[in-house]
């Protein structure tokens, strides 16, 4: 993987390099145009598993971690709501680290009104279930936050989320 400069690097390339640097070698994902950028940047370097539902990734990542390996899940914030039972019942109760890379819909530039309710409540939902979360607001914060979030997940023995907001990714509407 090349080391892109901060002026021409895409957030996804920087995030992919940081994930690979942390030893992530499996990525579970549910297709989404924003997450697809990160998936494409990771695909040459890690094994990827396409999910039908986000909660499938919880079980896959739990089993992978129990085998001594590192992985993460890429999903949209609307899909995070689908994972709450599996996240609390498996990852939290069994103290299994997992990094969630969550593309955020329903905020700046959103064009679909159905995405807004989840978009404006994602942070509060993560707070309510006790999952630490961070939002890299600029390209220069992506790598340190990816590394820090994964290390926190391992130290805390539980899930940690990185919220990939439209200001960073361009969102679906291309901010």
- Per domain, the residue ranges of the chain are 11-169
| pTM for the model | 0.90
Cβ count within 10 A of residue 93: 10
DSSP state of 43: T
Q: Report whether CATH 3.10.150.10 matches the domain 11-169.
A: no
For residue range 77-111, what is the model confidence (pLDDT) as tens digits? 989 988 999 999 999 999 999 999 999 988 888 88
Contact 18, 141 (CB under 8 A): no
pLDDT at 156 over 50: yes
For residue range 30-87, what is the model confidence (pLDDT) as tens digits? 988 888 889 999 999 999 999 999 999 999 999 999 999 999 999 999 899 889 999 9
Q: Who contacts 67 (Cβ-Cβ below 8 Å, separation ≥6)?
A: none
């Amino acid at each position: 993987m090349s080391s892109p400069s901060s002026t021409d690097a895409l957030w996804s390339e920087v995030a992919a390099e940081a994930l690979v640097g942390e030893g992530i070698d499996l990525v579970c994902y549910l297709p989404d145009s924003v997450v697809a950028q990160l998936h494409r940047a990771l695909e040459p370097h890690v094994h990827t598993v396409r999910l039908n539902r986000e909660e499938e990734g919880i079980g896959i990542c739990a089993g992978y971690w129990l085998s001594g390996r590192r992985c993460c899940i890429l999903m949209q914030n609307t899909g995070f709501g689908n994972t709450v039972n599996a996240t609390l019942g498996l990852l939290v109760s069994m103290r299994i680290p997992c990094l969630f890379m969550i593309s955020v819909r329903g905020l700046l530039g959103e064009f679909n009104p159905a995405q807004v309710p989840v978009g404006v409540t994602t942070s509060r939902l993560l707070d309510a279930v006790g999952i630490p979360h961070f939002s890299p607001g600029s390209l220069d914060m992506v790598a340190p936050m990816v590394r820090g979030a994964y290390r926190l997940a391992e130290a805390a023995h539980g899930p940690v989320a990185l919220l990939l907001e439209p200001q960073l990714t361009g969102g679906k509407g291309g901010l």
